[in-house]
Structure 1
Amino acid sequence: MTIASIGTSPPSLSDDLFRKIVTEMEDGIIVLDERGVILFCNASVEDLFLHAPESLVGQPLEVVLPPRSRKNHHQHLSGFANGPADARYMGSRNSFIVGYRADGTEVNLGATILRMLTEDGLIFVAVLRDLTERHGYQYQLEQLANTDPLSGLNNRRAFTNLASRHIARCREIHAPVSLTLFDVDHFKSINDRYGHDIGDTVICEFANLLKSATQAGDLLARWGGEEFILLMPEANLVRSGAIAEMVRRNVQVLEFGQPNGLNLRITVSAGVICSTEADETLDNMIRRSDHALYAAKEGGRNRVTLAGPRQTLAALA
């Protein structure tokens, strides 16, 4: 395995021991001087960055950093050089640093960076590991944990986590945020009469209809069973109510279950609220929306009920 270097190898290790380490290690190793110039790199670096090792020696480290990261690189290096610790660890299951490859693509890396004072001055030794596969696997696990397997929408867990952030941002800019709960009317009778496979088809078709009615920035999820929830940041009660009414009317005129040879007519009810109070919690918003949905059901179903800030209810249909 080829080793490329300038000058002598790091003085704290014998040449034989150093060569054994670098030739048997799959991780990439880069040695920098205090200016951030590459003094040494092992052959495994080529797998990470698609650069031949000898082509990197003498180059600034910026050559393997994304353009967006190069501006602040020297500041970070200087901070590490003057800091209290002799080692830094970057990259884990939940975070990573980004490398820049010769073909213009990026690679997710974990890094252990050591600071060493030698006879020739201060040097940095970076041991780099490709985390792309690990982070891809982690992303898939997170997607599975946050996605409703039937509808493909966010599940309740994901909605709760994401909604809190949306609400906090709306509070910061003093903007309203609206919440709607949808419920497929008489869904149990669909399952009882046609079977759960047909019920699942209806759920998926209704989820697709809801997705077509949302915009970028809206947060949609399957809340459970035949209930769906929609958060609309910066939307007032008039706008969110109009969206809910559009969904209700579309459902009323469409036929469901066609892939299974059926032409089912269904209806939905919805409870819509708008929050402008800085201290209102997501839980309270959901309670108010659920109360409005209950009113829509009690009022005969196939309708949208709006709840004002003081829980004044008004039906659109």
Structure 2
Amino acid sequence: MTIASIGTPPLSVSDYIFRKIVTEMEDGIIALDEQGIIRYCNPSIEGLFLHAPERLIGRPLEVILPPRYRKNHHHHLSDFASGPTDARYMGSRSSFIVGYRADGTEVNLGATILRMRTENGMIFVAVLRDLTERHGYQHELERLANTDPLSGLNNRRAFTNLAAPEIARCRDIHAPVSIVLFDVDHFKAINDQYGHDVGDTVICEFADVLKSVTQADDLLARWGGEEFILLMPETGLVRSGAIAEMVRRSIQVLEFGQPNGLRLHLTLSAGVICSNDADETLDNMIRRSDHALYAAKEGGRNRVTLAGPREALAALA
């Protein structure tokens, strides 16, 4: 059975359906030759890249790739052409490809790429889907899973995941790593006397103080309750101890709970450790900082206790 239109060759039912799908589907479709030149675009390509399809025909695929990816594109295309499979999908939960639009913005894409051999040589067909909204949603879910909802800082899970590779990096360059564990003194009494709303306000205000002393490479998190943890890469005990002491003195003179009409004066205790040991694990470093914090509390609170090399302790004294 065939379907014919005036002035056009007859189409079989399968050809008609195929053309209907390709022309009207929401996903963008691009066909490339072996040199990476665009030979066909369906109408949906304009919605993805803001280029009229006819303006892309005959141009290299690089025109819709961000400049930073253009150099390696032919290498990837060549690998696929000589590979064992005729189809490849990119656009999973954790990965996607990036397209470059006519207005200079970028779009996150999932792509099913097909390889077909024809009498005119190899043809590559890419079916492209906009994943920007999906990846934005997933990114927000991941952010929420890694963020303490009260303070807005990293939570314990995020800190553990981020700290391990940062420590490994410091080990590779033979640099020290310091950890400070902070604890708001007598925090339970604040909750008991003024209520949890005031306690929550104190946590948020204390987090803001800690944010003000961190640098770009530092890793700050709410460790739990009234405890906060700060990892400082490439930082020795002298400097990390001085920063902890600066925070302690700042807390001592500031007033907290003001959004609730209060002017609370707080103190904190801190345990500071420094590690140069290539074999020391993150768990052990945190354990040592916790022991140092315990010593600060046992010593009367409102103090910073350091644990590290003797020469570093002597320099600080």
TM-score range, shorter chain: over 0.9
Q: Which amino acid in 1 is paired with 2:207? A: A
Q: Which residue number corresponds to residue 104 of structure 2?
A: 104
Normalising by structure 1, we get a TM-score of 0.93
Q: Which residue number corresponds to residue 175 of structure 2?
A: 175
Partners of 2:223 and 2:118 in 1: how far apart? 61
CA contact (8 A) 1:180 1:230 kept: yes
Q: Which amino acid in 1 is paired with 2:111? A: A
Q: Which residue number corresponds to residue 139 of structure 1?
A: 139
Q: Per-residue deviation at 1:126?
A: 0.3
Q: Which residue number corresponds to residue 241 of structure 1?
A: 241
CA contact (8 A) 1:110 1:130 kept: yes
Q: 1:112 to 1:78 in 2, by over 3 A?
A: same
Q: Which amino acid in 2 is paired with 1:255? A: E
Q: Which residue number corresponds to residue 299 of structure 2?
A: 299
Pairwise CA RMSD: 1.6
Q: Which residue number corresponds to residue 43 of structure 1?
A: 43
CA contact (8 A) 1:292 1:313 kept: no
Q: Which residue number corresponds to residue 308 of structure 1?
A: 308
- C-alpha deviations, 1:101-149, integer Å up to 9, x for none? 0000000001010000012211000000111001000000001000000
Q: Bigger CA drift: 230-239 or 85-94? A: 85-94
Aligned ranges 1:103-122 → 2 under 5 Å = 103-122=103-122
Q: Does 1:64 align with 2:48?
A: no
Question: 2:104 aligns to what SS in structure 1?
Answer: coil
Q: Which residue number corresponds to residue 55 of structure 1?
A: 55
Q: Structure 1 stretches of 5 or more lacking a match? A: 1-12
Normalising by structure 2, we get a TM-score of 0.93
Question: 2:134 aligns to what SS in structure 1?
Answer: helix
Partners of 1:166 and 1:70 in 2: how far apart? 30
Using the aligned pairs only, state the percent identity: 83
Q: Which residue number corresponds to residue 123 of structure 1?
A: 123
Partners of 1:220 and 1:292 in 2: how far apart? 18
Q: Per-residue deviation at 1:14?
A: 5.8
Q: Per-residue deviation at 1:297?
A: 0.2
Q: Per-residue deviation at 1:256?
A: 0.4
Q: Which residue number corresponds to residue 282 of structure 1?
A: 282
Q: Does 1:257 align with 2:241?
A: no
Q: Does 1:219 align with 2:210?
A: no
Q: 1:249 to 1:230 in 2, by over 3 A?
A: same
Partners of 1:37 and 1:308 in 2: how far apart? 61
Question: 2:271 aligns to what SS in structure 1?
Answer: strand
Q: Per-residue deviation at 1:15?
A: 4.0
Q: Does 1:78 align with 2:78?
A: yes
CA contact (8 A) 2:38 2:61 kept: yes
- C-alpha deviations, 1:78-107, integer Å up to 9, x for none? 111111111111111111110000000000
Partners of 2:95 and 2:76 in 1: how far apart? 17
CA contact (8 A) 2:24 2:43 kept: no
Q: Which residue number corresponds to residue 229 of structure 1?
A: 229
Q: Per-residue deviation at 1:17?
A: 3.0
Q: Does 1:159 align with 2:159?
A: yes
CA contact (8 A) 1:305 1:313 kept: no
Q: Which residue number corresponds to residue 23 of structure 2?
A: 23
Q: Which residue number corresponds to residue 198 of structure 1?
A: 198
Q: Which residue number corresponds to residue 10 of structure 2?
A: none
Q: Structure 2 stretches of 5 or more lacking a match? A: 1-12
Partners of 1:62 and 1:196 in 2: how far apart? 57
CA contact (8 A) 2:238 2:313 kept: no
Q: Which amino acid in 2 is paired with 1:135? A: H
Q: Bigger CA drift: 223-232 or 84-93? A: 84-93
Question: 2:102 aligns to what SS in structure 1?
Answer: coil
Q: Per-residue deviation at 1:24?
A: 3.5
- C-alpha deviations, 1:29-65, integer Å up to 9, x for none? 0000111111101011111100001111111111100
Partners of 1:63 and 1:17 in 2: how far apart? 30
Q: Which amino acid in 2 is paired with 1:80? A: F
Q: Which amino acid in 1 is paired with 2:95? A: S
Q: Per-residue deviation at 1:18?
A: 2.6
